[in-house]
Amino acid sequence: MIDTSIQVNKLPELVLPAGDLEKLYTAVIFGADAVYAGGYQYSLRAYAGNLSLQELQTGVDYARQLGKRVYITVNILAHNEDLKDLPAYLEKLEEIGVDGMIISDLGIIRLARRYAPTIPITISTQANVTNYEAAAFYRDLGARRIVAARELSLDEIIIIKERTGLEIEMFIHGAMCMSYSGRCLLSSFMTGRSANRGECAHPCRYKYTLMEEKRPGEYFPIHEDQRGSYILNSRDLCLLEQLPRLVEAGIDAFKIEGRMKSPLYLAVVTRVYREALDHYRNGTFSEPAQLEYWLSQLQAVATRPFTRGFIDGRNADLQDPENNKNQDRAEFCGMVQGYDEKRCWIEVEQRANFGPGDPLWLLTPQAGVISLQLEHLYDSEGQEIDRARHACQHVYIPFNQPVANYSILYRLRQDNHE
């Protein structure tokens, strides 16, 4: 058993997704050390909000003021037509001064060394680095860090780090593709949208049935039980309880999936892992009540049961057809946009219908979760209203203490799938 009383001088970098500028701000203020974001081109999340070059410059400037880092994904598997405008794009990233690029394609690595030579390169999980010789090959091409393939056990990752001296970034939380490190052909085959070019339609999340050829029209659901397996839908990765092992193994960066998730998801997951790392540093990580609370927070914003993935090798709990059952689910209601000290009002941009009487909570960067007893609600004209009904409507809530911008307003509801 790892002794969590050991004091560590350097914790792993906590790297959070930033699907757009709002999510970048959210991740940073809730405790991320770094964020990874995509541009409008060359990123494997074409349907995330992503950042224009101007927004990327704004995000980098904001992060720098707080001592944080911004990495940009250039991780598509490029076709010939993708290369035409890539040199100019790389030169612009060099001018902006991003802290790193995440790349999987060998051709893009070659161009990056030529057109953005000062930007450190991280090798994406889509490059499928599963052994130390492959890692050394990328090191010799100029890479500083690799994102370990999700199929690797912790023992395999340790060997790669020891043999190559590379920094190791590892996914510790979030959705997993039912494919080889994200190289999936299902979306391209079924919808014409290539996952390897940022357009995944997520068909592995669909529900499937089985039909035997001599029984047309007779469908059988596919489930996982003691005798069989639900073939596609993976559980979500959660390595919170394994955090001490990963720190002691010398993992350099903890990466969290979710560029297309909500700011609520981002705020909750960032804060949980930030607190967990800080508790580890202080020797208080393994307190049972605290661990239980952190897990309940993560489960409230999850859509599937959790798995440890491949950290200990082959894992029987990787797949599960069921969503999380009978638990409190967090619903994103609004984003705090300001605080009026004269009237003691919080300004909130609405994201879901809410009003007086709802069981509301505020998630804040400094004070954590605060219960909010909503009795009165006002519109932008100062008129009292009964509900915030309109998308992105700005409403005002009386509150007796300042609340930081990008704090999250949410409510809990009970999901019951029985």
**What pLDDT is stored for residue 225 in this prediction?**
46
Could you give the residue range(s) of every CATH 2.40.30.10 domain in the chain? 327-415
Neighbours of 168 (CB within 10 A): 23
The tens digit of pLDDT for each residue in 200-250 reads 777 766 766 767 778 888 776 665 444 344 456 678 899 999 999 999 999
Residue with tokens 């880092």: 69
At residue 142's C-alpha, the angle toward residues 139 and 148, to 5°, is 45
CA distance 315 to 27: 31
For the chain, residues with pLDDT lower than 50 are 1-7, 224-230, 321, 326, 416-418
Q: How many Cα neighbours within 13 Å face the side chain of 272?
A: 26
Neighbours of 274 (CB within 10 A): 18
**What pLDDT is stored for residue 10 in this prediction?**
85
Could you give the residue range(s) of every CATH 3.20.20.70 domain in the chain? 13-181+233-307
**What pLDDT is stored for residue 287 in this prediction?**
87
User: Which stretches does DSSP call E strand in 3-58?
Assistant: 13-17, 34-38
Closest-CA residue to 322 (of 201, 226, 186, 230): 230
Tokens at residue 87, please?
A: 């040199």
Helix axes 86-96, 53-65, angle to 10 degrees: 20
* H or E segment to which residue 277 belongs: helix 263-282
**What pLDDT is stored for residue 235 in this prediction?**
83
Neighbours of 20 (CB within 10 A): 19
Tokens at residue 32, please?
A: 């991320």
Q: Which residues contact 367 (CB under 8 A, 6 or more apart)?
A: none
CA distance 110 to 51: 24
Let me know if 220 is exposed, middle or buried by CB neighbors in 10 A (0-12, 13-18, 19+): exposed
Q: What is 327-415's CATH topology?
A: Elongation Factor Tu (Ef-tu); domain 3 (2.40.30)
Q: 3-class SS at 26?
A: helix
> What DSSP string runs through 48-87?
S--B-HHHHHHHHHHHHHTT-EEEEE--S---GGGGSSHH
CATH class of 13-181+233-307: alpha beta
Closest-CA residue to 24 (of 68, 75, 67): 68
The tens digit of pLDDT for each residue in 102-132 reads 999 999 999 999 999 999 999 999 898 999 9
**What pLDDT is stored for residue 325 in this prediction?**
53
Neighbours of 47 (CB within 10 A): 14
DSSP β-ladder status, 34-38 and 13-17:
parallel
Q: What does each C-alpha distance from 348 to 114, 211, 408 come to in angstroms?
A: 46, 50, 9
Closest-CA residue to 347 (of 373, 380, 390): 380
Closest-CA residue to 14 (of 276, 376, 233): 276
